[in-house]
Amino acid sequence: MKYLKQTYDRLIRGNFISRDSLSETQRAIFRDIDDNKADYAAYFDRIGLLLEEGDGYFYLSRNENRTEMVRKLERFSHWIDVLDFLKAWEPAFGPGYRFRFSSLLHGIDADIELKDKISVLYENKDKHSEIAARLIDELQRQGFLETVEENTEEYQVTNAFTYLEELVGMLTFEESDDETTE
């Protein structure tokens, strides 16, 4: 467990560690966790956390009480809106996808539906460019995006983004018997 401190520091904040990170350090941390899963899992278990593994990423979870679950569901609704916005902008948005901030802004400016979708992401209805910058920052802090090139504001989506897609994909909506379908 060569990277225990770095792993703890990143994961305890709710962030992810991805196999396809642009950072060699992050990839080394991923490999160390992957090679020593049982040791890392035992360490986190001792402090009441679960080391979770997705397809090319790791994160932490914990057993929570009802109040915490409600709060998480509220936060989850935000991520549904984020995913809805990103997939409406670019259906191919997912692990490995690269884009420039200017392309995102151009897409928003050219599409009224995207303007509506981005406006609901945050309470403060700033300019679309400010909301988009806030979104990019949030995606980066969580480990879903990494900067490829700062000068051109180019970003790459990491494997951790799959977590959002899978979480939203698990939602199922059932019609009750008294509802009619059209």
Q: How far apart are CA 136 and CA 17, in angstroms?
A: 17
Spatial neighbors of 41 by CB under 8 A, at least 6 apart, are: 50, 51
Residue 37: in which H helix or E strand, if any? helix 37-46
Q: Left, alpha or beta for 96 (phi > 0: left; psi -120 to 50: alpha)?
A: left
The structure tokens listed for 31 are 């490999």
Q: What is the pLDDT of residues 124-135, one digit of tens each?
A: 666 888 999 999
Q: Closest Cα to residue 27, out of 6, 50, 52?
A: 6
CB neighbour list of residue 55: distance below 8 Å, 6 or more residues apart: 159, 162
Whether 59 has a pLDDT exceeding 60, the answer reads yes
Residues 6+ apart with CB under 8 A from 54: 159, 160, 162, 163, 166
Which DSSP state fits 53? Answer: E
Q: What is the pTM of this model?
A: 0.68
Helix (H), strand (E) at residue 17? strand 17-18
pLDDT band at 122 (very low <50, low <70, confident <90, very high): confident
Query: Residue 101: left if φ>0, alpha if ψ -120 to 50, beta else—which one?
Result: alpha
Residue 181: pLDDT band (50, 70, 90) is very low
